Structure 1
Amino acid sequence: MGVTSGAGPMERRSQLVTLCLLLGYLPRPSQFIFPLTGLGLCQPRVTEVQPGQAVYLSSENYPLTYPRGACQRHVFRPARANTSLSAVCTDVDLDSLVVPWLNWRVWGDFLAFPGRGTVYGREWTQCETAPLRVDGAPGHELPLEFSANYLLQRRGYNCVVRAIEEDSLLSRQLGALRHKENRDCGRPRVKRIIDGKDAKPGQYPFLVYTVTHTSDDRKVYCAGTLLDQRFILTAAHCLDGAVWTHVTLGAHDVTAAEGSSVVTNATRFRQHSQWSIQKFNREHDIGLIELSKPVKYTPYIQPICLPSVLELEEQYDNQEAYIAGWGKTYKNQHGGSFILQSGKVRVLSNCECYASWPYHVTPLKICSKPGSGKQTHCYGDSGGPLMVLTGGRWTQIGISSFTAANQACNPEAPAGYTRVGPYLSWIQEHTKIPLPML
């Protein structure tokens, strides 16, 4: 039998298909885009969700870039016929390229809820892609599909699927309030707020004053919030090079020997694995301080509330919020304030904040501007909370991360925070604090 040179028509066609697959050139029939998209050829994974249960899911390697040709298909099934499934994606960062004047999508990775919409990567001037919320009907499955091509990759997606027996706004609000009552968190000793002036003793019993001593002999002054008897939530940049931290809980005047305060040292820290001070956008600026022994709760030492899983879609746009800390109160002040300060601010939409911080703002950030006065975060306030008061309880929605420091903390410029909601699973993983949905 002779040996033929070259490939026959069928073999050449097979080779062409293989090449197209490798390059991501074959289009999905249901997607009206140029054919540089993912193919979604993986097998689905079925997960049954019990009432009151929350299931976290994310793209492979999240928050690092997902691999080329990534594919995930999930089918979430409610365990009971009267249970509705609701999915919220707190972060969506996919690759795509759009020709804006023609509105043509040249290529795109996508996140799809079949029959309920598809999300692609950000357009050139788009400031917001999350949170994405999709609700299913009672007793119905909720499918999710993620597919990437073989070109560029980005951070991916981070979502949570919740099973709710009564899927209504009222039931969500009541469920979130019940969750905080069960945790017994965020209760202020006094309820009066004075903008830009001294806070009252016990007004913010979860505020923590920290002085971190670093490996290069610096002292870093920050704030934090008490999560439980062992863990303090703060900004990752407050812990860069940390060797040990001097921690004051229940403090009002950090220079006075107050009977209400407890002073201790901590040597165990955790920064988010993807935090780096070298990153211009200050992504993942979140960290934890672990106390050497549990602190005893008093009227002046109490944990703050975190957002409930039922509140993850809440953006707080234009809502009234509050800040507190021991940072600078005027431009040329040496050090910071020794008396705890508080102020009222307005939460900005991410699109409004994007105009001032185009390289910083992502779905993982939240911003504020002064309300009626000129209160804003400044040096020494880093790691402190952006918080809202609901049902008589304080809930922390942000961690102070960046300000217009080169403008002397200009109150006209938005202050930036790490948004707490997208990091609930990270907090739970590293603290073991129970954060049930209900």
Structure 2
Amino acid sequence: MMRLVVLVALIGLTFAKVPFDPNAHNERVIGGYDAPPNYWKWQISLQKNLYDDGYHYHICGGSLIGASYVVTAAHCISSLDATLYRVVAGEHNIYEYSGTEQIIGVERITVHPDWNQDLAKGYDIALLKLATPASGSASVDLVNLPYPHQMLPHGYTCYITGWGLIQSFPSAAPDVLQQSPIQVVEHSVCSTWEWWGSNALKTMICAGGDGVISGCQGDSGGPLNCDTDGVWRLHGVVSYGPAGECNQYSKPTVFTRVSSYLDWINSVS
């Protein structure tokens, strides 16, 4: 069985140590391209003080679903000490300060109670309560949630966004938020042995698998943005992908299906 890997990465931020080659930042989410500045207004960078060195590092993405709440992946949370984390909303170039950013501490972390660190079992979702509410602006806004148990048809085009690696070998990370259209692979296809087999649950969404476009390390926790009913909705949270090259044919990026967890989200937020 193919090994699953989380799509977490450590990327140094402005005034931080940069662990990737800065000359490699002119590539493109894998197969993507630069997003327009502050178009995906709910996209946040989840950052952690990893080494008690005064620096915060981008580890995952996330989405603002309320002024005080961010949804991300459970596997992004390696410690429940909320003081280690911060959220940056209104971010575009992760290595530059433009004045649109809102840097907000985290007050409380709630990981889904059934998460057991086994990606194939699902429940890869967590909520962060912010220490102070995010302020709505031209660069920061909330994302709509899907309808309960809403499922999208095979081939439906959504967008994946994030600051994850833009190539696996050698590793290269972008400075600017990346975006790419990505097509949904319905469960009946993704759960076949040629694809993800029994690792793909109905509480997950598969998207991609064309060998070109995929999420990668650093995109974990970020959104699968889908325009339904004329509004952008958060249909997925980046969960896992294949070991090795991220953009493998028939091994799409797998997202936690948000519509399966609305009752839990509402009970927490």
TM-score band by shorter chain is 0.7 to 0.9
Match of 1:298 in 2: 137
CA displacement at 1:358 relative to structure 2: 1.9
Give the alignment partner of residue 381 of structure 1, picking from 210, 219, 222: 219
Alignment-mate amino acid for residue 143 of structure 2:
I
Alignment-mate amino acid for residue 238 of structure 1:
C
Alignment-mate amino acid for residue 329 of structure 1:
I
1:399 is the counterpart of 2:237:
yes
Give the alignment partner of residue 365 of structure 1, picking from 198, 201, 204: 204
Cα distance per residue 1:348-405 (max 9 Å; x no partner): 011211122223211111101167x82210000000111211344211111100011x
Alignment-mate amino acid for residue 271 of structure 1:
V
User: Relative contact order (C-alpha < 8 Å, sep 6+): which is higher?
Assistant: 2
Cα distance per residue 1:250-305 (max 9 Å; x no partner): 1100111111111122141110011021x251410000111101111001100001
- Give the superposed CA RMSD: 2.3
Structure 2 Cα separation of the partners of residues 285 and 384 of structure 1:
12
CA displacement at 1:211 relative to structure 2: 1.4
Give the alignment partner of residue 253 of structure 1, picking from 81, 87, 93: 93
User: What is the correspondence of 1:281-296 to structure 2 with a 5 Å cutoff?
Assistant: 281-296=120-135
Structure 2 Cα separation of the partners of residues 288 and 208 of structure 1:
13
Q: Which ranges of structure 1 fall in alignment gaps of 5 or more residues?
A: 1-194, 432-438
Alignment-mate amino acid for residue 289 of structure 1:
L
CA displacement at 1:214 relative to structure 2: 5.8
CA displacement at 1:212 relative to structure 2: 2.7
CA displacement at 1:332 relative to structure 2: 2.7
Alignment-mate amino acid for residue 383 of structure 1:
G
Structure 2 Cα separation of the partners of residues 215 and 421 of structure 1:
36
Match of 1:344 in 2: 181
Match of 2:18 in 1: none
Q: Are the counterparts in 1 of residues 225 and 233 from structure 2 also a CA contact under 8 Å?
A: yes
Match of 2:109 in 1: 269
Q: Are the counterparts in 1 of residues 86 and 105 from structure 2 also a CA contact under 8 Å?
A: yes
Match of 1:320 in 2: 157
Give the alignment partner of residue 35 of structure 2, picking from 199, 209, 215: 199
Structure whose CA Rg is larger: 1
Structure 1 Cα separation of the partners of residues 46 and 170 of structure 2:
19
Q: Judging changes above 3 Å, is the alpha-carbon distance between structure 1 residues 282 and 213 closer, same or farther for their aligned structure 2 residues?
A: farther
Q: Are the counterparts in 2 of residues 321 and 345 from structure 1 also a CA contact under 8 Å?
A: yes
Structure 2 Cα separation of the partners of residues 267 and 274 of structure 1:
22
Structure 1 Cα separation of the partners of residues 49 and 77 of structure 2:
9
Q: Are the counterparts in 2 of residues 369 and 411 from structure 1 also a CA contact under 8 Å?
A: no
Match of 2:10 in 1: none
Q: Are the counterparts in 2 of residues 213 and 242 from structure 1 also a CA contact under 8 Å?
A: no
TM superposition score normalised by structure 1:
0.50
Alignment-mate amino acid for residue 48 of structure 2:
T
1:252 is paired with a residue whose SS is: coil
Identity %: 28
Q: Which ranges of structure 2 fall in alignment gaps of 5 or more residues?
A: 1-30
Q: Which stretch shows the higher mean deviation, 417-426 or 264-273?
A: 264-273
User: What is the correspondence of 1:189-228 to structure 2 with a 5 Å cutoff?
Assistant: 196-213=32-49, 221-228=59-66
2:105 is paired with a residue whose SS is: strand
Q: Judging changes above 3 Å, is the alpha-carbon distance between structure 1 residues 215 and 365 closer, same or farther for their aligned structure 2 residues?
A: farther
1:407 is paired with a residue whose SS is: coil
Structure 2 Cα separation of the partners of residues 282 and 289 of structure 1:
22
1:281 is paired with a residue whose SS is: helix
2:116 is paired with a residue whose SS is: coil
Structure 2 Cα separation of the partners of residues 249 and 280 of structure 1:
27
Q: Are the counterparts in 1 of residues 168 and 244 from structure 2 also a CA contact under 8 Å?
A: no
TM superposition score normalised by structure 2:
0.79
Q: Are the counterparts in 2 of residues 322 and 388 from structure 1 also a CA contact under 8 Å?
A: yes
Alignment-mate amino acid for residue 124 of structure 2:
D
CA displacement at 1:347 relative to structure 2: 0.2
